[in-house]
Amino acid sequence: MIAVPGAFVAETCEREGERGREWIDALPGLVDRALARWELTPSGGVMHGAVGVVVPVERVDGTAAVLKVSFPHPGNVAEPKALAVWAGRGAVQLLENDAAAFAMVLERAGSESLRDLPDAVERVVVAGRLNRRLAVTAGEEFPSLKGVADEWAREIESRYGKVRTELPDRLVGRALESCRELAKDQPDLLVHGDMNFSNVLSGRREPWLVVDPKGWAGDPAYDAVNLLRDRWHTMPELAKTLPYQLAAFAEAAELEHERVVRWVQACAVKDTLWSAECGEQHGAGVSETVAAIA
């Protein structure tokens, strides 16, 4: 049986509570059954992300792959569906899938991620081109980004007025307007939904392949949010280069520049208000960087 990484155990149990503990206890057996079912041979140490473990394996024919087993959460349901739709086009290939067990066998990508590229503009250009290729017809099986925009609007309305920030009224009003207008106008296109730089890996078939999609139906411009969001608190200089990076992403993805900007600005306002209300208890404090980005 596999040894589940301690950090993954702690994160899962803290986030999911008793249900997470029960799943962690069952996880080695889930992995063993998947290995036997698909005749896979482990070929490396167990890795993990936020929601699942990844085991490097070899298939019967000797090809390298990975087995991924994820926590059974509604947010993880659409991942194999999105990978199946893309069928290797800009994404890792889905080789096997057990929806009930939240287990998949995937093409093995390289160890280098887009985060490793030193040039910030090159990173967003690569991501933008991938975004364009992934924007195929989604269909009814994927959740709509309308719900995301609606939820952002509710969060902004709920917190604004209760917390103190340096955000001017006009900026918060613009974010609310963006959320409401974006919610009304969502195309039926497949969106990765978590395209941060760590989720774009080097490949053999293609230079870069996306992994770990959330699988949304809606506006591809949304992907700009997560490209930059995970760096908001660690890269203060981002506020100075953000306009140029957003323009480069929009051009590479063939997207309307204003929609890209509105998604990112609305999210920055939402996150600034969250930080003002909840940051102290989470040890984060109010992020001046995110406020500057907004």
Q: Which residues are catalytic?
A: 194
DSSP type of residue 218: S
Residues with Cβ within 8 Å of 163's Cβ and at least 6 positions away in sequence, in order, are 273, 276, 277
CA geometry: angle 11, 17, 19, nearest 5 deg: 110
Hey, what amino acid is at 197?
F
Residues with Cβ within 8 Å of 244's Cβ and at least 6 positions away in sequence, in order, are 121
How far is residue 219's CA from residue 112's CA, in Å, rounded to a whole number?
A: 28
DSSP 3-state of 101:
coil
Please report the DSSP string for 142-208 in residue order: S-BTHHHHHHHHHHHHHHBTTB--S--HHHHHHHHHHHHHHHH---SBEE-S---GGGEEE-SSSSE
